[in-house]
Amino acid sequence: MMQNQEIEAKISDLLIKINKRLQHPYLMRYIEKPIIDEDKLLLTYIILNEKGLSEEELDNYAMSTMLVQVALDTHERITSQDLSSDEGRKNRQLTVLAGDYYSSLYYFLLSELKDLSMIRALAQAIQEINENKMQFYMNDNQSIENSMENLHRIESTLLLKTADYFHLPLWKGIADEFFFMKRMLHERSHVINNTYTPLTAKIMHHLNRSKGNWLSLKNQILDIIDSYILHSKGRLEKLWSQEPVMHTVLERRLEQYIKHSGFRMKKYAEEG
């Protein structure tokens, strides 16, 4: 079993390799530097490490998965803001191209492994994530439950497909709840900081309230988000009891997000 220090060293090495793949001098002059979700890289590595792959295979599978994630995250940054200027239009066009470029890199890596099945699995993940993004961002009238289900799929489908491909069903549940809970904790931080997000808008629409009543709505919105956080935390604890190996590093990261968000387990324990 790998120690936490070994895992952290390997993740640092993979980050360097992925960033090297992402470098494109022209794109870097005009668009934001791509951000790699280190938690998703960590969990991808943990999943792959259970399969006894060679170092080259593990690296290529991990990098391929994360290049897809970077491509998805890059495309999500595309907005219609500042399209009146040449610079704004150019930035948007290059962001689209950058996302496509990053996505093409995973094809190249997996083609080196001659793994067409994994290429199909990741392509299916991209399709499902994009479908859920469309439902989440374009459907103003959907229920909170459906919105939360969309966020589950948006945040974890890539890891779910990877775990499914390598026949590791337990890690599917862990990935699903971990990344949904992480998203909810970030959403909670936005509410605490009075930042308006698409999820906030959906909850307000469900409550039939307007942005003008934001301060009076704040506690209601937090209660709804906190109920989902609490449910995910309970599910994670059950799943981790079945997979004691390697989960402590994930718990430590999650505790950092909990602390930053202001979520207090003690409050809910007292109320319960």
What is the rounded distance in angstroms from the CA atom of residue 272 to the CA atom of residue 267?
9
Q: Are 82 and 18 in contact (CB under 8 A)?
A: no
Q: What is the pLDDT of residue 7?
A: 84
User: Where is mean pLDDT largest: 29-33, 64-68, 153-157, 264-268?
Assistant: 153-157
Token representation of residue 141: 């009238």
The fraction of the chain above a pLDDT of 70, given in percent, is: 84
Q: Are 67 and 106 in contact (CB under 8 A)?
A: yes
Q: Are 164 and 121 in contact (CB under 8 A)?
A: yes
Mind listing the pLDDT tens digit for each residue in 90-138?
Answer: 777 767 777 777 778 888 888 888 888 999 999 999 999 999 999 998 8
Residue 238 pLDDT > 50, yes or no?
yes
Mind listing the pLDDT tens digit for each residue in 207-233?
Answer: 887 666 777 788 899 999 999 999 999
Q: What is the pLDDT of residue 81?
A: 47
Report the predicted TM-score, pTM, of the whole model to 2 decimal places: 0.88
- What does the pLDDT average to over 22-49? 82
Return all residues near 181 (Cβ < 8 A) that are at least 6 apart: 229, 232, 233, 236, 254, 257
What is the rounded distance in angstroms from the CA atom of residue 109 to the CA atom of residue 60?
6
Q: What is the pLDDT of residue 177?
A: 95
Top pLDDT among 200 and 31 is at 200
